[in-house]
């Protein structure tokens, strides 16, 4: 399966053989049978690269990437030398770029999803047992990495606290509303 990074490491723990291929190499690898599956971005970009012509089964949710998000990384020492106005300009530009990207994909993905369905793609939701397996493997990977990498541990420990707080909040708000709307339409 073409899946790089931490997602690939998690997939390896459950028995997949992850491959890190650049975007342009995925279609030919699927076509030749060099890989059996791929992860990419979402319906719009998957359709653009033509994966549906070869891979007619689409599995979701993409647990390794629940949403797209841009990242900007700047060396802290260099950041601290920038004038405050430049820091604020970079922060504002990064926020705007991320919001624009999310809005664009929220508009393009539903339309692409319908085209993929019309092209005969079959959609399959990972069942709860599989999702729990992914979750368990991911958390074991993060715990293992935390045990050997103090920088990872520092970030991961704070992130886990934040995630728990957010999960409680989202259960009351976005998740509850999404659940209602998805079953009421």
Q: In which residue are the tokens 């708000």 written?
A: 173
Are residues 10 and 64 in contact, defined by beta-carbon separation less than 8 angstroms? yes
Contacts of residue 62, defined as CB under 8 A and 6 or more positions apart, other chains included, come to 39, 42
Task: For residue 53, tell me if it sits in a domain.
Answer: yes
Domain of 179 in residue numbering reads as: 158-185
Task: For residue 153, tell me if it sits in a domain.
Answer: no
Tens of pLDDT, residue by residue, the chain (185 residues): 999 999 999 999 999 999 999 999 999 999 999 999 999 989 999 999 999 999 999 999 987 777 777 788 999 999 999 999 999 999 999 999 999 999 999 999 999 999 999 999 999 999 999 999 999 999 999 999 999 999 999 999 999 999 999 999 988 998 899 889 989 87
Residue 99 sits in the same domain as residue 163: no
Contacts of residue 113, defined as CB under 8 A and 6 or more positions apart, other chains included, come to 43
Residue 115 sits in the same domain as residue 182: no
CA–CA separation, 163 vs 36, rounded Å? Answer: 33
Task: For residue 107, tell me if it sits in a domain.
Answer: yes
């Amino acid at each position: 399966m073409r899946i790089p990074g931490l997602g690939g490491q998690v997939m390896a723990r459950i028995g997949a053989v992850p491959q890190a291929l650049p975007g342009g190499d995925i279609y030919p690898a699927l076509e030749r049978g060099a890989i059996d599956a791929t992860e990419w971005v979402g319906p719009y970009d998957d359709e653009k690269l033509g994966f549906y012509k070869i891979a007619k089964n689409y599995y979701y949710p993409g647990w390794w990437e629940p949403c797209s998000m841009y990242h900007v990384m700047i060396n802290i020492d260099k950041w601290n030398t920038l004038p405050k106005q430049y820091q604020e300009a970079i922060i504002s530009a990064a926020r705007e770029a991320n919001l624009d990207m999310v809005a664009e994909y929220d508009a393009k993905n539903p339309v692409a999803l319908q085209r993929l369905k019309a092209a005969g793609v079959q959609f399959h939701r990972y069942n709860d047992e599989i999702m729990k397996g992914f979750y368990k493997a991911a958390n074991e990977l993060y715990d293992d990495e935390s045990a050997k990498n103090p920088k990872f541990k520092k970030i991961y420990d704070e992130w886990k606290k934040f995630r728990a707080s957010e999960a409680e909040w989202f259960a009351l708000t976005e998740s509850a509303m999404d659940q209602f709307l998805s079953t009421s339409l």
